[in-house]
């Protein structure tokens, strides 16, 4: 396993629309830079699987392609970070998705004496729909099987989540890579960007 650049702490937000490859590419970044992966979508799906109160609440939003309320999402994320101290760095996948989530993350990292960089995967809407519908054939994810729900997820991303990239860009902490092409090509583009941070 390789370790992060100069053994310094590295925190990344892997950003992009639904189906852009955040989960796929997180695995390679985790391996190369020895990061702790936090996916709020996976956390919610695990709560749904466990039929918890939080899972029931999350499901009512996720199945429509809407965002789970900030308050719930932020407190779940904070707990996950607190439960995993002393890691080499975090990769945030699917979080933050709103500017209040971004501000909460920055405050939390600041208290830990750390900061974060955002890297966005750029993928066109048609390719997103194609990937998600394809995955929906086997994934069992309710939000991947209905094209209206997929379109709503893409719209919610445009309305609520793109401002997060603008927020980090205004702080000089955002970069992007082309997210279309073979998985390995996208991985190499990401490595080049992360190595230059």
Give the contacts of 177 (CB within 8 A, at least 6 positions apart).
Answer: 119, 120, 121, 122, 186, 189, 190, 193
Q: Is 173 a catalytic residue?
A: no
Question: What is the Cα–Cα distance from 79 to 66, expressed in whole angstroms?
Answer: 23
Binding residue for ligand AP5, selected from 55, 94, 102, 119, defined by CB under 6 A: 94
Nearer to ligand AP5, 12 or 62 (CB): 62
Q: If you compute the radius of gyration of the chain from its CA atoms, what whole number of angstroms results?
A: 16
Nearer to ligand AP5, 5 or 147 (CB): 147
Query: Of 187, 149, 6, 174, which is closest to residue 88 (Cα–Cα)?
Result: 6
- 136: contact with ligand AP5 by CB under 6 A: no
- Among all residues, whose Cβ is closest to ligand AP5? 41
Q: Is 141 a catalytic residue?
A: yes
Nearer to ligand AP5, 6 or 117 (CB): 117
CA neighbours closer than 13 Å in the CB half-sphere of residue 135: 18
Which one of 80-88, 89-97, 105-113, 166-174 is the stretch in contact with ligand AP5 (CB under 6 A)?
Answer: 89-97
- 95: contact with ligand AP5 by CB under 6 A: yes
Which helix or strand (DSSP H or E) is residue 23 part of? helix 22-33
12 SS3 class: strand
Binding residue for ligand AP5, selected from 10, 13, 48, 97, defined by CB under 6 A: 97
Residues that bind ligand AP5 (CB under 6 A): 16, 18-24, 40-41, 44, 61-62, 65-68, 73, 94-95, 97, 101, 131, 135, 143, 153, 183, 186
């Amino acid at each position: 396993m390789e370790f992060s650049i100069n053994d310094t702490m590295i925190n990344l937000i892997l950003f992009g629309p639904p189906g852009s490859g955040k989960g796929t590419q997180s695995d390679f970044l985790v391996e190369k830079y020895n990061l702790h992966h936090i996916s709020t979508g996976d956390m919610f799906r695990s709560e749904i699987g466990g039929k918890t109160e939080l899972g029931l609440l999350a499901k009512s939003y996720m199945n429509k392609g809407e965002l789970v309320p900030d308050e719930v999402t932020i407190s779940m994320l904070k707990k996950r970070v607190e439960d995993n101290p002393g890691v080499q760095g975090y990769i945030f996948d699917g979080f933050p998705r709103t500017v209040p989530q971004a501000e909460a993350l920055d405050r939390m990292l600041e208290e830990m004496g750390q900061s974060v960089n955002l890297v966005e995967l750029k993928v066109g809407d048609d390719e997103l729909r194609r990937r998600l519908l394809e995955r929906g054939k086997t994934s069992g994810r309710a939000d991947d099987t209905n094209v209206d729900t997929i379109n709503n997820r893409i719209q919610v991303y445009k309305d609520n989540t793109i401002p997060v990239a603008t927020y980090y860009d205004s702080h000089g902490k955002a970069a992007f890579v082309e997210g279309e092409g073979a998985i390995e090509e996208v991985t190499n583009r990401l490595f080049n960007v992360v190595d230059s941070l």
